[in-house]
Each structure stands twice: as structure tokens, then as C-alpha cells.
Amino acid sequence: MPALGDVPHHYLLTVTATDLGPGDRLPGLDLRSLETCLAGHTLSGSTIVGRYGH
């Protein structure tokens, strides 16, 4: 969340549908590891951009 008086910040929210089951991933994945895990398993997805400021 931006500090009071700061310029509005942009936030990206990405939702990805995959063919992987809940137990098919390793806990504690960082972003690169998650992207590698999802390669070839993404069925669909969407990203929205939100902007928030005070």
C-alpha cells in the first residue's frame, strides 16, 4: 500500500488455470520455480491491473 501522499501504485493480479493437482507442486516455490513448474501445464489465465492511492 502506498504511503499517504505518495503517487498511486499499480498492482498486477494474475490468475492461472492449470492441469496440475493441489499436491503436484513443491512448497516454498519462488517465482522462477513456479514459472518452470507451470510450463506446459497452463490451460488459461488472465491478468488485471489495479491502481491504488490515497
- Dump pLDDT digits (tens) for 9-53: 999 999 999 998 887 767 788 989 888 888 999 999 999 999 988
The structural domain count of the chain equals 1
| Position 3 in a domain | no
The pLDDT confidence band at residue 5, using thresholds 50, 70 and 90, is confident
pLDDT of res. 12: 94
In degrees, to the nearest 5, what angle opens at C-alpha 46 toward C-alphas 36 and 50? 110
pLDDT of res. 7: 86
Q: How far apart are CA 47 and CA 14, in angstroms?
A: 4
pLDDT of res. 3: 77
The whole domain housing 44 covers: 9-52
pLDDT of res. 8: 87
| Position 1 in a domain | no
